[in-house]
Structure 1
Amino acid sequence: MTACNKDFLDLKPLDAISEADVWQDLNLIELYVNDRYDELPHGFCKWAGGLRMTGITDESYHMHEARFLDKYTQGGLTSGSLNMYYFNGFWLDAYTAIRNDNIFLEKISSYQGGEQERIKQLTAEIRFLRAYFYTELISRYGGVPLIKKTFDLDSNFNVPRASFNECVQFIVDELDQAIEDLPNRDEAVGEDFGRITKGAAIGLKIRALMFDASPLFNKTNDQTRWQKVSQACEELFNLNQYSLSNDYPGLFLNPMDSGVIFFKQFLGQYGFELVDVLSDYYYHYRGGQSIDEWRFPNGDGGWISENPRQEFVDQYETTSGEIPVLGYTGSPNNLTPIINPKATNYNPSNPYQNRDPRLRYSVLYDGTTFKDRDLEFWDGGKDSRNTNVDFWWNGSMLGYGIRKSLDESWSLNAGVSSHQPWIYMRLAEFYLTYAEAQYHLNNFPMAVEYVNKVRSRGSVNMPPIDASGNLLEKIKHERKIELAFEGNRWYDARRWLDAEADFAKDIIAVQVKKDANTGAKSYRYYYFEGGTGKRSFPTSHYLWPIPIEEILKSNLEQNPGYN
């Protein structure tokens, strides 16, 4: 997202700008809208995106945030939990953003200037942003109050919760209205690069409809809801603006990739010039984020904060298309893998060989090459928690790190931020969404076709699936692997009603030992927390509790299990 320098030369001094001035000056109106983009959370350093979300799923353990996340992962979330801003704070943040969007929608009609087509586009962007926050709210809380206007001191603040279906319909209606006035991807170039497009709005509509169609909210498996998901996916595909990326690891560093639909960019890339105007309007664009510091291995000075769990690593198939490890037996401190006899090219002595390439692209593990060296997670290695190693306290607790989205060319110097984009939406997600919808509509051949489009593309090249056996589980599995560590898993497992089983499993870690004489490596698998059953996911956790402060000051009905 860029801005033209010469337009800002005529701005009044900040202390001379009135509210009326803002809504009569197109430059100031654009700056107001740009500030609304800043309210979008992202997964690099804010809660509601992906970084910490992985730590409350079966994907990973977040060792630097465990003191906060354990309240959730151990089943203790309440409407008044202490130190739980990550959870209770989202409600306030979302409604603050919605209020700012409502201000725009109320004030913009007073604009008397020219360039009305630009005003229509900016209005459509605001409708998208308001719909985005409502989509995030309903995916956490179910039905919520629909606040469509600003309040004054004389307003009635006791707005009841709308039903979930009413919220979904409002979101869809808003997005359909926005789509009409948004540009296509190939039109959002130059100064509009990074702004919201038709594809992004359709993608958000698909996500809202997907929640509406899934078992969490679709108790009767109403197929008309799946039909709406299918139609929205086809609406996206028919734009002919996107294609699957053949560079799986590279797409997370390149917002211009053909498969990227919506992203948040950070200043320092792509040769665009941004002007620092009016306080914080370009905060995230002139600055950066800290994903490389959070995820780099300690051998390169990073924190390797998120540690993928062994049982999640096991989900990456062999190159022959088989899950290699089906479970574990034995004592908590020395577990024995149950090897899948169909995974004939799996070698327990070299467990990362002959695996789905997305394992190498997504996970840091012992022996993989990173920044032109082989990582050393073995005891005493450069990336271990051995006390003789520099930054040992930041060594992985589970024997793994997350590689996805890392920029290996970046140097972790003090005070230097990272600038890769946060990818909100990409085409592969919606291919798999379409496959899931086709399954529920009994169109199994089409479901298989779209899963295989994802699996067969360049840089992945995994063997095709077929419709035999449990096709729905195959679709879920592909989604789990393709979208790993991007913030989707928490939403998916909940909407499928799988979280009670999947998120309550004990964490398994690996210890790698290296023979000093031969260099041979051995692997010990064990329960990280001793197999004590600390992980739990009560039924109430499918929805978050409305913050107690909101319950006490209004007539809102609390979600089940939190009274």
Structure 2
Amino acid sequence: MKKILNGLILILWMALASCADTFKVGDAFLEKAPSVDVDKDVVFNDANYARAFLWNAYTSLYYGRPLNWGAKGNRMGMGAVDALTDCFTSGLGWDGVNGLYYSGQFNATSDYASAVYSYSNGEDQWTGIRKAWLFIENIAQTPNIDDKEKERLKGEAKMIIACHYADMYRNYGGLPLVTKAFDPNDNFKLPRATARETMQFIVNLCDEAFSVLPWALQSGEQEQWAGRFTSAAALGLKIRILLFAASPLFNDSEPYYPEESSTASVTEQHVWFGGKDMSLWDDVIDACDLFMTRNQQEGNPWDLVKNPANPRQAYQDAYFKRANGELLIDTRARATVSWYWDSNCYYLQSYGSYGAVTPVLEYVNLFPYADGTPFDASFWDEQNKDHYIAADPFANRDPRLYENCLVNNAEFGLDHPAELWIGGREGPANELAGDGGAFTGFNIYKFILDKEHMGGKQDQWPYLRLAEIYLSYAEALNEAGHTGDAYQYVNYVRARVNLSGLKQGLTQDEMRKEILDERAREFGAEEVRYYDMIRWKQAEAFRKRLHGLRIRRGDNNTYSYEKFAVRKRFIQDSEDGTVFFTPKWYLSPFPFVEMNKGYLTQNPGW
């Protein structure tokens, strides 16, 4: 902990020139002015400087895509968290996904810049937490800011802390709880709190922010202030953490790694609540009830983006368009993307051209037909490379398929339908392609769109969308035994893309699967599926072999489809039935350099 925080003790880093009276989301807010070392009394004796200090703390928030080589930008060695799920795979041979995870080499001594999440400030979390506490502790002395605004600004600072802890909680479990800005005389070796204490710490911060922040930004100011925390954002983050905590990873009759139940992290309840507490699902329901009630009282300023005539565009706007009335929390590293090959937006190349997050057949199969009828995945078992057909298995599907994945013959903004067949303009170059973009017969579409028209596009990370609240509400109702009440919230999300509602009469287990599948469809490549697999301890999903298609083009617009298994990951089953997966993979290990200081317990299996 000392190594993490010591460098933050003597410097108040801020971009004084780039931020003045207002919080901006344009280039002026995001450009870095020369940093300066200033005394905190100088900063907090000037209203403009104090506000600018908080705006700068916002830049520490989690941004889910790789940017460029170096520091926080080199996320997962230019890879993607979703490539660890059963929905995507990586064709980028030199990213952290392949180098550490697919190979099974990741451990407590690994390069955390290539890991899912870096505890040692690789995500700027400790920097952001310290800045936020500094702001909370010193804003009272600032002149020319009234008390009401000071409380609002403190609420925003608490949300910065809450977001960072929420990110760490989902990767590590119980954490050392930093409750102030450290100085050189403090003890940096804080012990881990329990999983429940850490959950409550985050919830309390959200509650405190909820009590002082406006429910939504006022009409006319959304574009200028987009990304600034609101009361709805605070309640939304609380719901996310309550849902994670209520799930079986921590909240079960036995710890997630029974064979390691004697380890200190288990016995001291750093990664387990000590038993199953069904009331936690009720807490999620109560928080969701409050969200819906408050939103209605405020005139429903938060709602899903809708466009019945063009549901695909509505869905794209929901994750891509700024100030859309659905993005509860969005973060960014810049205002816009200059062009596709912009070296500072490396995800465009690593995702689209190099295949860092390439859809697999199992994910494509999840998307039903446009009328809501499930797609029959056995279709592919009846195909082979010599069987050419004119029927298009990708036509008339859930509109979200085309926004998450580039599939053969899809319309995608250029002057021709997508050519994902072998040798096609968007497809793999040859029969033996085993990596790179589209090597599975599909490519990513989300965030990169058609690649050719990226100049000037907005560039934010959809950290938390309203659709997640609806699906979390449905999940909690189902787990609490109110399966019949869950339908309306799942169906509301499906209705945005004109899908029919779920069939009636589902059992609790069937509804759970439908909700998790719906979350996979709705939040593709938004780092939701990975944490769903973790919190539900889905060993089978981590272990199963994944597939792609070799699509060949024949005469008269006919195609053949050959299903093939993509390269095996270390934790996936071998053909001889050998199982390599262990539950240790649900959480990350704390870095060895931190463990060696003696203030932490290591997570089970590491």
* Counterparts of residues 310-389 of structure 1 (less than 5 Å): 310-318=361-369, 319-325=371-377, 349-372=391-414, 373-386=416-429
C-alpha distance in 2, partners of 1:473/1:326? 19
How many angstroms does 1:539 deviate by? 0.5
C-alpha distance in 1, partners of 2:524/2:379? 20
How many angstroms does 1:329 deviate by? 6.6
The letter for the 1-side match of 2:540 is A
Aligned equivalent of 1:262: 329
C-alpha distance in 1, partners of 2:570/2:190? 44
Contact kept? 1:511, 1:525, Cα under 8 Å: yes
Distance 1:14 1:49, change over 3 A: closer
Name the SS of the counterpart of 1:374 in structure 2. coil
Aligned equivalent of 1:198: 231
How many angstroms does 1:410 deviate by? 5.4
C-alpha distance in 2, partners of 1:522/1:322? 22
Contact kept? 1:316, 1:323, Cα under 8 Å: yes
Distance 1:4 1:153, change over 3 A: closer
Contact kept? 2:359, 2:444, Cα under 8 Å: yes
Name the SS of the counterpart of 1:248 in structure 2. helix
Name the SS of the counterpart of 1:140 in structure 2. helix
Deviation track 1:204-250 (CA, whole Å, cap 9, x = no partner) reads 11111111111111114422111110111122222232112221122
Name the SS of the counterpart of 2:89 in structure 1. strand
Aligned equivalent of 2:211: 180
C-alpha distance in 2, partners of 1:65/1:419? 29
Contact kept? 1:245, 1:258, Cα under 8 Å: yes
Which deviates more from structure 2 when the two are superposed, residues 428-437 or residues 503-512?
Answer: 503-512
The letter for the 2-side match of 1:226 is W
The letter for the 1-side match of 2:304 is L
Distance 1:83 1:477, change over 3 A: closer
Contact kept? 2:63, 2:333, Cα under 8 Å: no
C-alpha distance in 1, partners of 2:103/2:290? 41
Contact kept? 1:265, 1:419, Cα under 8 Å: no
How many angstroms does 1:117 deviate by? 2.1
Contact kept? 1:328, 1:336, Cα under 8 Å: no
C-alpha distance in 2, partners of 1:404/1:16? 40
* Counterparts of residues 519-538 of structure 1 (less than 5 Å): 519-529=557-567, 534=572, 537-538=581-582
Aligned equivalent of 2:148: 117
Q: Which of 530, 533, 556 is matched with 2:600 structurally?
A: 556
Q: How many residues align?
A: 518
Unaligned runs of 5+ in 1: 270-286, 297-301, 338-346
Aligned equivalent of 2:317: 250
How many angstroms does 1:4 deviate by? 4.5
Contact kept? 2:78, 2:347, Cα under 8 Å: no
How many angstroms does 1:130 deviate by? 0.3
Aligned equivalent of 2:249: 216
C-alpha distance in 1, partners of 2:523/2:92? 23
C-alpha distance in 2, partners of 1:154/1:524? 65
Which deviates more from structure 2 when the two are superposed, residues 550-559 or residues 39-48?
Answer: 39-48
Residue 143, structure 1, aligned to residue 174, structure 2: yes
Aligned equivalent of 2:584: 540
Distance 1:241 1:235, change over 3 A: farther
How many angstroms does 1:334 deviate by? 7.0
Aligned equivalent of 2:118: 89
C-alpha distance in 1, partners of 2:437/2:78? 21
Aligned equivalent of 1:57: 85
Distance 1:476 1:107, change over 3 A: same
Residue 405, structure 1, aligned to residue 447, structure 2: yes
C-alpha distance in 2, partners of 1:16/1:193? 29
How many angstroms does 1:533 deviate by? 7.3
Name the SS of the counterpart of 1:486 in structure 2. coil
Name the SS of the counterpart of 1:264 in structure 2. strand
Name the SS of the counterpart of 1:419 in structure 2. strand
Aligned equivalent of 1:466: 504
C-alpha distance in 2, partners of 1:400/1:546? 35
Aligned equivalent of 2:548: 509
Unaligned runs of 5+ in 2: 1-17, 29-33, 67-72, 254-275, 307-313, 337-342, 574-579
The letter for the 2-side match of 1:488 is V
How many angstroms does 1:397 deviate by? 1.6
Name the SS of the counterpart of 2:319 in structure 1. helix
Aligned equivalent of 1:43: 64
Residue 77, structure 1, aligned to residue 106, structure 2: yes
How many angstroms does 1:394 deviate by? 4.6
Name the SS of the counterpart of 2:196 in structure 1. helix
Name the SS of the counterpart of 1:29 in structure 2. helix
C-alpha distance in 1, partners of 2:451/2:319? 14
Residue 489, structure 1, aligned to residue 529, structure 2: yes
Aligned-residue CA RMSD (Å): 3.5
C-alpha distance in 2, partners of 1:72/1:495? 19
Contact kept? 1:91, 1:137, Cα under 8 Å: no
Distance 1:321 1:50, change over 3 A: farther
The letter for the 2-side match of 1:386 is A
The letter for the 2-side match of 1:405 is F
Distance 1:418 1:241, change over 3 A: closer
Name the SS of the counterpart of 2:366 in structure 1. coil
Distance 1:15 1:552, change over 3 A: closer
Contact kept? 2:45, 2:143, Cα under 8 Å: yes
The letter for the 1-side match of 2:97 is L
Deviation track 1:141-170 (CA, whole Å, cap 9, x = no partner) reads 110110112333332222110001001111
Q: Which of 157, 180, 194 is matched with 1:163 structurally?
A: 194
Contact kept? 1:48, 1:90, Cα under 8 Å: no
What percent identity do the matched residue pairs reach? 27
Distance 1:335 1:53, change over 3 A: farther
Name the SS of the counterpart of 1:170 in structure 2. helix
How many angstroms does 1:420 deviate by? 3.3
Deviation track 1:101-154 (CA, whole Å, cap 9, x = no partner) reads 222222223334432222211111110010111111111111011011233333
Deviation track 1:352-406 (CA, whole Å, cap 9, x = no partner) reads 1232222122210111111232111212211233279xx9985422111121233
Aligned equivalent of 1:226: 281
Name the SS of the counterpart of 1:185 in structure 2. coil
C-alpha distance in 2, partners of 1:293/1:95? 29
Contact kept? 1:448, 1:465, Cα under 8 Å: no
Q: Which of 488, 492, 507 is matched with 1:449 structurally?
A: 488
Distance 1:249 1:83, change over 3 A: closer
How many angstroms does 1:62 deviate by? 2.3
TM-score where L is the length of structure 1: 0.83
Contact kept? 1:310, 1:508, Cα under 8 Å: yes
The letter for the 1-side match of 2:187 is N
Residue 475, structure 1, aligned to residue 519, structure 2: no
C-alpha distance in 1, partners of 2:365/2:442? 12
Deviation track 1:265-323 (CA, whole Å, cap 9, x = no partner) reads 56557xxxxxxxxxxxxxxxxx9745444444xxxxx4454210111111112334224
How many angstroms does 1:348 deviate by? 9.6
Contact kept? 2:20, 2:51, Cα under 8 Å: no
Name the SS of the counterpart of 1:492 in structure 2. helix
Contact kept? 1:267, 1:288, Cα under 8 Å: no
Distance 1:393 1:114, change over 3 A: closer
